[in-house]
Structure 1
Amino acid sequence: MSVSHGPPIAIVYFSETGTAHSLADRLRRKLLRLHFRATILDAEELAKVTSLLFTSSRDRERLIVIFLCATTGNGEIPRHARRLWRFMLRKKLTAQSCFGLEFSSFGLGDASYAKFNWAAKKVHKRMLQLGAVEICMRGEGDESASGGIEHAYSEWELTLCSSLLNLYPIPEGVDAIPDTVLLPPEFSVTVLSDLPPAPITDEAALLKSRVTSTVKLGTVGRNARTTPATHFQDTREFVLTIEGTISDHPELIPGATLLIYPQNDSAAVAALISSQNWDSIADLPLSVSPSVLRWATAKPLTLRSMLTYHLDFTSVPRATFFEVLCYFSNGDEQQEEKLRQFADTGNEEYTQDRYDYADRPRRSILECLMEFESVKIPVEYLLEVFGELRPRQFSIAGFQENKIELLIAIVKYRTMLKRIRQGVCTRYVSDLKVGDHLLYEISPPQAKTPSSDTPVLLIGPGTGVAPLRWLLMNRMKSSSTSLLVFGNRFRNADWYYKSNWKSIDNEIESTDENGIVTITGGNCTVHCCFSRDGNKVKYVQDVLSRQDISASVAQMLVKQNGYVWVCGSKGKMPRAVRNVIEAAIDRIPGYSGQAVVAELDRQGRYVEETW
């Protein structure tokens, strides 16, 4: 491990869900085995990253930077990396700012989104503009492809390492470190066994200890089920009371999101601790690397509090999880071999086996640890095995006085293993009672909110209607046209915000022969469809295809400088909606729907917020 060669390599990750961070860990280990000096940096660490990128080439040690970039929303840079991206766009930067710096990038995306891997494409292009030199072609991973992101990443990693070794060969007589050798952990984690157990802290005090300049403490004002008790989908109208009013929160405008910091179930935490034989040390103080304290803010910090508030063990494991786990099978050769196979993303058979074991049945990390009984994780490798428990984003449905309104669909279903699976955040939310506290953060909109005199087309099936409801309620008295298209399963069970729509001034309700419900009043029109009620028209894209609606949409966008906002689940819906809108515009002589929508996109007048 003392032998090193070539320039230092900084791996900068732009992560939203943790996948880019996980791949950064994997790349670091691979480069260390090739005796490169590799370190990882979160794009949120602005000062460190900018000092690497923009130090004068005369003063900077020769350096290689590898970007691993996730894309979020409508081709956006992940939240934690946006300050860095804004810095990279500064006008004072020139083609000499990164002159001579060698780099490459890999994008993590999903081809079902219109702006596939745009974050990586934008970062890569900007680095070239600033004078950096591409050391290896940019790679792209597609979550929806066979083998997922990790398969494409494996192929790109081989190309990257080959390029690096061609430029900077391993010194003669030195061999790469074999995969059978366990590398030291990136971050130190030590149980302070010579100290007494940390004092028991109540929930409220521990939450308060985590408050920062951006992470705040709110109080639950309402948590009421809005769907019938007999309905399989539990959807909540959730109200959070915060400090300050509208004047104190200029970022709270339609399109803003609320990030809720969840916590793991105490019984699941206890089960994990027991499975790893950590019971005797679970409540002793922990010492961790200073950089970890940036996000591991619970006080006191113990194994139990780390697992409760900061580490993720309920998600479906990635290949990198099995890659680390195989070193801790304690002599069980059969289990070690199976773990190594699950970690092999270059072998299609093993990739399919991992998919069948973990992804298809939605096995959690905890369940895997319970089944691989020989695995006992040393505490010092805690942060190599478990990723960060990240906050979950929810579109804000309204803000009045000091109360933020949300519409939250509780994730709870039975897997093919006949086990009940719950979303870590929505399980936490579903158990909260009025008066309870939670940690939150407000994220401003990424798209510009349309002015009140701009005609708008709003499309939001399911809980995607939440942010659109906020905008529409603000426009009730507007002189410009507001058209909302909403869809869900059942009219009598899933018609979210029905009372709001029926409160429109001079409201008139009608239902056509295909089951489309229309509510009009003033300059507002709401069209609703319900897919499980036996109607001919089932989905929002079908509503948009109705001749009169299609014609008015086309006129709004082509002749009236309209604005489109699509919210809801990713997949077929956003693409189908775009296709229908393009087809509507094609019917206007002299106009190309594809060209018009592309221009709307460029101007920020066609916004997709999907998940």
Structure 2
Amino acid sequence: MESSSNDVQATDRNALVLYGSETGNAQDIAEDLGRAVERMRFKATVEEMNAVELKELLQYTVVIFVTSTTGQGDIPQNANRFWRSLLRRKLPPSCLSRLTFTSFGLGDSSYPKYNWAARKLSKRLVQLGAQSFFEAGEGDERHDDSIDTVYLPWKQSLRSHLMSHYPLPESIGPIPDDEPLPPRFVLSIDGTKGVTSSMSSTSSEDPPSTLLPIEEASEAIIQSTSRVTPTDHWQDVRLFSMDMDEPAEPLLPGATLIVYPKNFKTDVQALIDQMGWQDQADQPVHATKVPKELGWCTKLEVCTLRDLLTHGLDITAVPRRGFLEKLFFLTANAEQQERLKELIDPSGSQDFYDYTTRPRRTILEILGDFPSVKIPPSSAVDVFPVIRGREFSIANSPSRLAVPDEQITHNQPPQIRIEILAAMVEYRTIIRKPRVGLCSRYLKSLAAGARINIGIKQGSGMQRLLTRPVIAVATGTGIAPIRMLHQARAKATGSTPPGEMLLFFGCRSRKVDYYFADEWRRAANGLTVIPVFSRDADVLIDMAKTVQLGGQDEPPPTAGMPVPPSLSASTAGLDTSETGMLRRRDAGKNYVQHHIRRHAYKVAAMIRGGAAVCVCGSSGTMPKAVRLALEDALVAGGLCASAAEAQEYLTTRVEIWQETW
């Protein structure tokens, strides 16, 4: 990101903003910081971490690292190569002594290793001699206003610090907020007539079936799509089965499948009409630089603006503040400009969230609210966010399919079948029109035989659980990675057979969302399934009659379970901490955490025997409530003497693999 040439720059002040991002949130923060330091007249560059070498860091006045945490405290993929370069043993301990840096981490406090990536990155930089010039920031997605609760005040403090420690000459001030910054990406429209895009579809397919040459993506063919929840149930959950070429590396438990969605023709045409792009929409476009996610457009013989809008730009996303900032400069209507100014003002963040985030208002709808905004077609890539692939946990352990004779003749690679269990994102807000996720809408449009672009991301850490005893806790579609793990354990070969696996599976009802019920009823290979139905009328059934836990020495549930005095109901009722609130919220309900306590002796015995724990499903209170129940079970099961000891035991001696969303 370079500042405009007509702005006065202090040539000795430059800033590098590096990001590691899986879903794009960290990248959005990095780009916002890039704009902020550019307004302070730093020469600003924004890149993913993998795009730079260590020696390049020393060329900048300041370096700002922004990273999310993925997997089990891991560095995002587009920062992993950079991270590995920091871990080289041959690096001198003072090799980064001239580096001045700060960092901002994006995390989810429901994970045990909250903001782990940012913390270990900062620690390693300091070990190599780097100096932190400003206190690190840590944003939490669990906050009411998400990451911005911490990020916005942190950014303002960072700005004040930079202006104080790296002042401009008295005759030069920062670039005013009401002055536009130069675009990072600019398209040129080729007016050549009669040129046809190779991506164009002459059929009525919506969205178009044409596939992109996406880097590291593969082609898959949909074999079946089936709804697995009743049609009268509010949530539409579907099982997708697809075939693809067998990857070079076998898929391990915890792997995810990336689906690359696309926009529908009707939405694309609505935007073209609103912006007045009818004459430019089907003309070839050229660009010397595009976001990495749009690299496919440079590989096409012809790429049009319509192609970019259909396959690359997320025109139905709920925008971040930066999008509205760009719209502010693209309208001449004083009233609408004033309203945009109110929305992007950090001091009025409540107004911004009430308008965008809470009702999930989309970019197309916002442009409809501000009809005077006219985006130049050359600025489309700079203004709109890009479409990013959506990750889904793989729900089966794939095996090679039988190869037909004709495939052998044509020397085609072997195929595998992959399944994903996907909940369609559909809901209502204060806006009359129902909200539907871009990828959900795309997946629902697919029929058997459809070809789609997919990517594969290997799991992190779950493969270590192929032979160990495992206590698995899953809710809803979180059963998908657990099913893959169970199938992989059943197929495992070696001298050591898999250890016992105990699964607590939380659902609403046995007739609604007890996914793969037949498989769990036939459970074998050391698997015991404890189904937990939170909404069934008979939730108080004696689970000891339906679940056989071999060797269990605890009393039956009706006899009660010993509860440490520190965890008694009377104490919890007076407890105003998060722990106390979790206990009160659980009172009188039937969730997986209640059954973990019910089977405390079994849980404690398995953990004493070296069992690992897997927690999969919805984020938020569930993972915290499960962890609290595990602590209670260790005390009630006799493994630990107190809640404090149980907490320490879980933290230091038990491997916990968590995948929540």
* Normalised TM-score (structure 2): 0.82
Q: CA deviation at 1:389?
A: 0.9
Mapping of 1:50-449 within 5 angstroms? 50-53=54-57, 60-194=58-192, 196-199=194-197, 201=199, 207-212=210-215, 214-244=216-246, 248-292=247-291, 295-298=294-297, 299=300, 300-329=302-331, 331-345=332-346, 347=347, 350-398=348-396, 399-401=398-400, 402-449=416-463
Moved more, 574-583 or 369-378: 369-378
Match of residue 595 from structure 2: 543
- Determine helix, strand or coil for the equivalent of 1:233: coil
Moved more, 415-424 or 289-298: 289-298
Match of residue 581 from structure 2: none
Measured in 2, the distance between the counterparts of 1:353 and 1:135 equals: 33
Q: Is the alpha carbon distance of 1:51 and 1:190 closer, same or farther for their aligned partners in structure 2, counting shifts above 3 Å? A: farther
Q: Deviations over 1:259-313 (max 9, x none)?
A: 1111112211111121111121111111123353663314332221112111122
Measured in 2, the distance between the counterparts of 1:560 and 1:603 equals: 11
Check conservation: 1:282, 1:304, Cα contact below 8 A.
Answer: yes
Check conservation: 1:515, 1:536, Cα contact below 8 A.
Answer: no
Q: Deviations over 1:9-58 (max 9, x none)?
A: 1110122222222222222222222211111102242xx244423xxxxx
- Determine helix, strand or coil for the equivalent of 1:582: helix
Match of residue 20 from structure 2: 14
Mapping of 1:7-46 within 5 angstroms? 7-45=13-51
Match of residue 575 from structure 1: 624
Measured in 2, the distance between the counterparts of 1:49 and 1:515 equals: 61
Measured in 1, the distance between the counterparts of 2:184 and 2:370 equals: 24
- Determine helix, strand or coil for the equivalent of 2:283: coil
Measured in 1, the distance between the counterparts of 2:77 and 2:225 equals: 27
Check conservation: 2:18, 2:65, Cα contact below 8 A.
Answer: yes
- Determine helix, strand or coil for the equivalent of 2:291: helix
Check conservation: 1:324, 1:384, Cα contact below 8 A.
Answer: no
Q: CA deviation at 1:596?
A: 5.4
Q: CA deviation at 1:211?
A: 4.3
Say whether residues 1:566 and 2:615 are aligned partners. Answer: yes
Q: Deviations over 1:57-112 (max 9, x none)?
A: xxx53542111112234433223222222222222223222121111111122334
Measured in 1, the distance between the counterparts of 2:48 and 2:133 equals: 21
Q: Is the alpha carbon distance of 1:153 and 1:508 closer, same or farther for their aligned partners in structure 2, counting shifts above 3 Å? A: closer
Which consecutive residues of structure 1, in runs of 5 or more, have no partner in the other structure? 54-59, 526-534
Check conservation: 1:222, 1:434, Cα contact below 8 A.
Answer: yes
Q: Is the alpha carbon distance of 1:27 and 1:476 closer, same or farther for their aligned partners in structure 2, counting shifts above 3 Å? A: closer
Measured in 2, the distance between the counterparts of 1:470 and 1:609 equals: 13
Moved more, 407-416 or 188-197: 188-197
Corresponding pairs, count = 583
Q: Considering only aligned residues, what root-mean-square deviation do their CA atoms show, in Å?
A: 2.8
Moved more, 194-203 or 23-32: 194-203
- Determine helix, strand or coil for the equivalent of 1:433: coil
- Determine helix, strand or coil for the equivalent of 1:76: coil
Measured in 2, the distance between the counterparts of 1:510 and 1:446 equals: 26
- Determine helix, strand or coil for the equivalent of 1:564: strand
Measured in 2, the distance between the counterparts of 1:510 and 1:353 equals: 45
Query: Which amino acid counterpart does residue 97 of structure 1 have in structure 2?
Result: C
Q: Is the alpha carbon distance of 1:368 and 1:508 closer, same or farther for their aligned partners in structure 2, counting shifts above 3 Å? A: closer
Check conservation: 1:11, 1:40, Cα contact below 8 A.
Answer: yes
Match of residue 4 from structure 1: 10
Q: CA deviation at 1:139?
A: 1.4
Q: CA deviation at 1:364?
A: 0.9
Check conservation: 1:255, 1:449, Cα contact below 8 A.
Answer: yes
Q: CA deviation at 1:603?
A: 6.6
Q: CA deviation at 1:202?
A: 5.3
Which consecutive residues of structure 2, in runs of 5 or more, have no partner in the other structure? 1-6, 401-415, 492-496, 532-537, 553-586
- Determine helix, strand or coil for the equivalent of 1:311: coil
Aligned sequence identity (%):
36
Q: Is the alpha carbon distance of 1:293 and 1:30 closer, same or farther for their aligned partners in structure 2, counting shifts above 3 Å? A: closer
Measured in 1, the distance between the counterparts of 2:50 and 2:653 equals: 28
Measured in 2, the distance between the counterparts of 1:514 and 1:359 equals: 39
Q: Deviations over 1:327-373 (max 9, x none)?
A: 011x211111111111112x1xx211111111221111111111111
Measured in 2, the distance between the counterparts of 1:368 and 1:516 equals: 53
Query: Which amino acid counterpart does residue 52 of structure 1 have in structure 2?
Result: E
Measured in 2, the distance between the counterparts of 1:594 and 1:289 equals: 59
